[in-house]
Amino acid sequence: MFTKYFLTSLLVGLMLSLVGCHTVPQTGRSALHLVPSEQLASMAAAQFGQLKQDTPISTDPTYNAMARRVGERIAYVAAPDMPNAQWEFVVFDDDEQINAFAMPGGKVAVYTGIFKVVKSDADLAVVMGHEVAHVAAGHGNERISQQVLAAGGALALQMGTRDLDSSDRQLIMAAYGAGATIGVMLPYSR
């Protein structure tokens, strides 16, 4: 029984990885992209909208002008890699956050705390360009695809071990969870 579920799971996983295999144009590296770009952009837009409701937006004209000016230049350069992007550049008012991020579909955020470090358009371009490059290279899609596969693997493992006693199943699932986290998820996290 275990062999039947294992082989079925292996076959499904192999088919998903072949269907979702994508070559990143900028690097030539193969990546797993299981979620359509349009769906990711839609999910990101909803998340970004929620963030704008929940987080104060800066009214500082200097910060906003700099983010918009730099962002528009980056959007121009990134257009061939992100032709359907609906660009939006927002400066969130949080002096403790020295951070920036970009989301699929062209949503870019900068926190006011970054301006403690960033002093010029060129400085901000390095930060924002780096974040947009992650999106252009499909890193978000790759991350979500890894999570989908890890969850599918866990489900297949649960099904395949259902005839074992609960302590053995818990041990196997814990080992799988640790392996998936350390071997797949953590190498790409901060």
Report residue 1's pLDDT band, with 50, 70 and 90 as the boundaries: low
Q: Is residue 52 part of a domain?
A: yes
- Count the domains in the chain: 2
Same domain, 119 and 159: no
Same domain, 20 and 64: no
Same domain, 80 and 146: no
pLDDT in tens, 130-158: 999 888 877 777 787 777 778 877 888 88
- Could you give the CA distance from residue 12 to residue 17 in angstroms, rounded to a whole number? 9
pLDDT in tens, 171-180: 888 888 888 7
Q: Which of 183, 187, 189 is nearest to 150 (CA)?
A: 183
For the ranges 72-76, 144-148, 168-172, the lowest mean pLDDT is seen at 144-148
Same domain, 7 and 79: no
CATH number for the domain spanning 111: value is 3.30.2010.10
For residue 92, give its domain range: 45-137
Which residue pairs, CB below 8 angstroms and at least 24 apart, start in 172-181? 180/150, 180/153, 180/154
SS3 90: strand
- Could you give the CA distance from residue 46 to residue 27 in angstroms, rounded to a whole number? 29
Same domain, 131 and 142: no
SS3 174: helix
